[in-house]
Structure 1
Amino acid sequence: MLNFQIQSDSDIPASKQLFDQIQFAIASGQYPPEHRLPSTRQLAMITGLHRNTISKVYQNLEETGLVESIAGSGIYVKNQSRKTKSTNDSTGVDPSHTVQASIDSLLDLGFKLSQIRDFFFEEIDWRIQCNKQVLITVPKKHLTTGKVMELDLSEVLEIPIQLVPIEELTQLLEEKNFGTLVTNRYFLKDVLDVIPPNSFRVITVDIYDYGKELEIIKNLPSQACLGIISLSENFLEGAASIAHSQRGDDLLVLTASPSDPKKLMAVVRTAHTILVGPPSYDVVQDMLAHLRHDLIRIPDIIRADNYINNKSIETLKKQLNL
């Protein structure tokens, strides 16, 4: 679990540091839907920030659709489920009992067995139709994040996957009646604002929590230099913010995309430790091989897990009947 920390003397505003950390905790599933978040008073005690600043951060999170305020109760991670399946482990569950309970519930609501049968058939047929086309959708300004998601899923699902900006979903709806849209919690509200019910199926995936990598960052020696390499520009910005929040000026953080050889070379030459996502790993190794004879010290290159966490990938496989 990410420990909220704020570097008060940082160039990154304290409110952005806290926003990035809470947003990451939600998107990585550390705070699941309907989880109650710390109160403004609790966060003020943890971070040293003024309660008004924390209230503003929560307000910004509410505007993004990640949290909701319930009067007299607190701030909760918003459950935005609407055909956005999040399958639980089915171990030990009796399918017949689950079906019977569902039928009984519908009977109690006044539906007839013939109607209930049609409900089941329609839902199953709809899902089968949706599974024929799988698309990843993110805002245009986050397309590099979408590309990382596409690479993750294409490798493990072994099916054709298309990357479509959210801004182009309206046009897509005019051309196609069914499909499965995959996004993460950062962008779910934007997707649901565009997609009408009973058209495209929307499935959210949680991102990897980077617990192993955060522990490495925590234990790096004072005045060390950390390199972070990713295809996603937005990931690099968020990762640098969180790393800085955890260590402050005690740690120099350098970031680069594998598509920028000049910046990548600077990171490999300077960093003591380099964290790199799977899609960028081979590029970093090639750069290291190219520079090896000129380096006084060889950096530790640590390959992170996939951007999408393994549990979400397994869930997606079940939902797509793979």
Structure 2
Amino acid sequence: MVQFHIQPDSDIPASTQLFNQIRFAIASRQFPPGHRLPSTRALAMQTGLHRNTISKVYRQLEDIGLVDAQAGSGIYVRAQGNEISGARLRSPILEQHPQAYKVVQKGLDELLNQGCSLNQARELFLAEIDWRLRCSARVLVTAPGQDIGVGELMTQELEQALRIPVQLVPMEQLSDALDQAHSGTVVTSRYFIGEAEAKAAPKSVRVIPIDIYNYAKEIHLVRTLPKDTCFGIVSLSSGILRAAEVIIHSLRGDDLLVMTAQTGDAYKLNALVRTARTIICDQASAGAVKTAITAARDDLIRPPQVVPCENYIGAESISLLKRELGLS
């Protein structure tokens, strides 16, 4: 069961602390699609917050498209229209192409008449679909321009995992990019799914949400650090750094001195490696952190411990995305 922690003496509003923690639980799939969020009463007992405050947070989550309120039932994590799955054809496709089902039936019947089994026919269909997807797949990663670093992080990880070109498009330019594309798939974090779908839906382009890594090992490390430890976080993404600060402060309050730096900010990065005893960074930032430590080695009594995160994108999302794109 996910536990939420609120620091009452924090400068960060309690509603913001709770909002960020629930958003993280949804994005990391600790609260998967269809999951019923705790009632305002249960969450009030756990966090000490007023139920009105919790209701306000739930409305904010609904406004950005992460949850749906069902009257008389509760608040549920929204299952996106293009959720990665092995979903069957939906009725809108049949409405657009009323003869499609008959075409599929006819093709299948012909294969069976030639002596193919159902499993063999399935393999033939899937092989042809996979081949066409590999030839025509165009994957666009999108993220808000103000935090394009998280888009760079997703793009790097997807190119390594999928082994196909991946194009990064700022959210503000997504509509124009889709106007120029005849086909493709938009991929983004659940943090940004609402805005991405709003831009892609009029173009009849699917949007696939990815789940982020749950950072369980890193959170455990934060919980066990000695009081007054100077702790550093380095990432390509300013948004990740802001969210991490809120979550860490919710867990430890003022027990830790937290320093953050984006990879491209040489001044802050150099100050961080000279001060922090432990540094958590994303894989894309690990090289820059180690280079900064090497450059400052003469000034360091003891080099900081560097803990690179496994990934930003969850492993299951990578596996399902490969299957959806016909790359597995």
Choose which of 141, 144, 153 in structure 1 pairs with 2:146.
141
Say whether residues 1:79 and 2:79 are aligned partners. Answer: yes
Q: Once the 2 structures are TM-superposed, how far is the Cα of residue 116 of structure 1 from its aligned partner?
A: 4.8
Identity %: 50
RMSD, aligned α-carbons: 2.8
Deviation at 1:235, TM superposition (A): 0.4
Deviation at residue 269 of structure 1 after TM alignment: 1.2
Q: Give the whole-Å Cα distance in 2 for the aligned partners of 1:2 and 1:293.
A: 44
Could you say which residue in structure 2 is the equivalent of 1:48?
Answer: 48
Where in structure 1 do 4 or more consecutive aligned residues deviate above 4 Å?
Answer: 110-113, 118-121, 123-127
**Structure-2 separation of matches of 1:171 and 1:119:** 38
Aligned residues: 303
**Contact map agreement 1:130 1:179 (CA 8 A) in 2:** no
Structure 2 residue matching 1:68: 3-state secondary structure:
strand
2:64 maps to 64
* Alignment-mate amino acid for residue 307 of structure 1: Y
Whichever residue aligns with residue 10 of structure 2, its letter is S
Supply the distance in 2 between the matched residues of 1:236 and 1:196 (Cα, whole angstroms). Answer: 30
Partner amino acid for 1:28?
S
Tell me how far 1:125 sits from its aligned partner: 9.2
Please, which moves more after superposition, 261-270 or 170-179? 170-179
Are the equivalent residues in 2 in contact too, given 1:130–1:201 (CA < 8 A)?
no
More off after superposition, 164-173 vs 243-252 = 164-173
CA distance in 1 between counterparts of 2:230 and 2:286 reads 19
- Which runs of no fewer than 5 residues in structure 2 stay unpaired? 109-124
1:236–1:34 Cα change, 3 Å: same
Deviations 1:224-266 (A, max 9, x none): 1110000000000001110110000011111001111111111
Structure 1 residue corresponding to 2:102, chosen from 114, 125, 131: 114
Q: Deviations over 1:183-237 (max 9, x none)?
A: 1111111111122378323211100000000000000011111100000000000
Q: Can you give the 5+ residue segments of structure 1 that lack an aligned partner in the other structure?
A: 89-97
Post-superposition offset of 1:293? 2.1
* Contact persistence 2:231–2:276 (CA under 8 A): yes
* 228-237 vs 168-177, which moves further: 168-177
Q: Hey, what's the Cα distance between the residues in 2 that align with 1:230 and 1:153?
A: 17
Aligned equivalents of 1:241, 1:130: Cα separation in 2 = 43
Structure-2 residue corresponding to 1:190:
195
Residues 2 and 184 of structure 1, relative CA distance in 2, 3 Å threshold: same
Q: Is residue 183 of structure 2 the alignment partner of residue 178 of structure 1? A: yes
For residues 27-46 of structure 1, the aligned pairs below 5 Å read 27-46=27-46
Residue 306 of structure 1, aligned match among 311, 314, 317: 311
Normalised by the length of structure 2, the TM-score is 0.85
Correspondent of 2:235 among 230, 238, 248: 230
